A and B are shown apart, each in its own frame.
Chain A
Amino acid sequence: DAKTTQPNSMESNEEEPVHLPCNHSTISGTDYIHWYRQLPSQGPEYVIHGLTSNVNNRMASLAIAEDRKSSTLILHRATLRDAAVYYCILRDVTGYALNFGKGTSLLVTP
């Protein structure tokens, strides 16, 4: 399975933009890039996903490199409620694989 690499932790100031990187150099052409986040003591929550083009939704934006070997989750204005562990995951064409790595722990400070 193609794997992802993320920094263990990042810190941001409230109301500042946050760019969370993810490397996936062995991604296959049919792998979708998914992002989830997990707040303490809760189940993961879907954030955004994409295949080749950049994607925007009400929660975040996803910027995908042209060669698809890396991507960046962008939170446009971090709030204290955005403090969570963010997971970058590749889902293959079968849709079965949903393997979480260690993710990035985002700390948001006032």
Chain B
Amino acid sequence: SQTIHQWPATLVQPVGSPLSLECTVEGTSNPNLYWYRQAAGRGLQLLFYSVGIGQISSEVPQNLSASRPQDRQFILSSKKLLLSDSGFYLCAWSVLWDRGNTEAFFGQGTRLTVV
């Protein structure tokens, strides 16, 4: 069966420090991969999605970047964190070329607090 791993679960980082969040998927090949952010009391905002290795689409210009160095690995990074980067970060995957007809699976999230 497919599983998605996201770590760490919680993270407290000072302003100006770098960030690296990692997400890996097991049990499937060539997935669509997504990064979302949820600010406190807000909805989920799609940050990036990827349809293949090295292929990243950015939905919102910001202080963050994403990379997909391997088929089932998705990394969210920042060189210098801002206070506004605080939030709940979620990784998700779905079947590639599913034409909208299958579900997406979410990780348990990373709660990032920038201090």
Contacts and interface: CB of A to CB of B under 8 A. Distances in A.
A9 to B, nearest CB: 13
Contact of B101 (A32, A44, A96): A32
Q: How large is the interface on A (under 10, 10 to 19, 20 to 34, 35 or more residues)?
A: 20 to 34
Contacts of A30: 99-100
B106 interface: yes
A44 B105 CA distance: 8
A51 B99 CA distance: 11
Contact of A43 (B45, B46, B95, B109): B109
Given A87-B44, A101-B43, 18 more contacts: A32-B100, A41-B109, A42-B108, A43-B106, A46-B105, A91-B100, A95-B32, A95-B94, A95-B95, A95-B96, A95-B98, A95-B102, A96-B32, A97-B100, A99-B46, A100-B36, A100-B45, A102-B43
A100 B101 CA distance: 17
Given A44-B90, A98-B46, A102-B43, A92 B100 contact: yes
Contact of A46 (B32, B57, B97, B104): B104
A101 B44 CA distance: 7
A103 B92 CA distance: 18
Nearest to B43: A102
Contacts of A16: none
Interface in A55-89: 87
A98 B90 contact: no
Given A42-B109, A43-B109, A102-B43, A96 B103 contact: no
B99 A95 contact: yes
Contacts of B34: 98
A21 to B, nearest CB: 18
Contacts of B99: 30, 93-95
A43 B108 contact: yes
A100 B44 contact: yes
